[in-house]
Amino acid sequence: KAGVTQTPRYLIKTRGQQVTLSCSPISGHRSVSWYQQTPGQGLQFLFEYFSETQRNKGNFPGRFSGRQFSNSRSEMNVSTLELGDSALYLCASSLDWGQWETQYFGPGTRLLVL
Amino acid sequence: QKEVEQNSGPLSVPEGAIASLNCTYSDRGSQSFFWYRQYSGKSPELIMSIYSNGDKEDGRFTAQLNKASQYVSLLIRDSQPSDSATYLCAVPGRKDDKIIFGKGTRLHILP
């Protein structure tokens, strides 16, 4: 069974630009969550999508947004990038909304903002 | 008060000894608790979940939960060098369903 896949794996952007990250969940998993991981703040929950709807959201500004498609694949967008957005962005999929015990993480996208 | 707190470490434990990792949380309504292991340069993987007060054992791992004191711990028996990693405690909030991670404890098993 294929795991969670994320593209791209590495990305370099400049301040003010926007970026879109993609996540394909494990087959059969209908929920996708996004996280930001930095050395200073650790692993922080961004949002969770299920049935193409955002189910819950962490404490991040509106520049961070996402969406989910009918095949459960998800994208995350960050607009007007800031230096502090440099981080590892992790996507995780689970069978159902809030079913954290079935959550598997992808390899992540490392974003560097210059 | 931080919502989920862990000692950042590093925690150094001799090979073969018991490693004890602790986590405290602030939301008294939390019902489920998770431990993730993250190797350097890799993504987190779930290794233990616990829902009821007491102990839950899985191989060399034991999770302990005390809801009255709002702490959850992870014991690793017969520690191996391959256990060297960062261990993250995660607690879903009862009110808003978002999951909160502690900043993790770096564990180093000394050969």
pLDDT digits (tens, 9 = 90+) for A29-60: 999 999 999 999 999 999 999 999 999 899 99
The whole-angstrom separation of Cα A17 and Cα A109 is: 17
Average pLDDT over residues B5-26: 95
Chain A nearest CA to B45, separation (Å): 7
A contact test, residue of B7, B30, B32, B43 with most A CBs within 10 A: B43
pLDDT reported for residue B29: 86
| Cβ atoms B101, A43 nearer than 8 A | yes
- All residues of chain A having their beta carbon less than 8 Å from the beta carbon of residue B46 are 101, 103-104
User: Minimal Cα–Cα distance from B17 to chain A, Å?
Assistant: 28
Whether residue B2 is predicted with pLDDT greater than 70 in this model: the reply is: no
Q: How far is A62 from chain B (nearest CA, A)?
A: 17
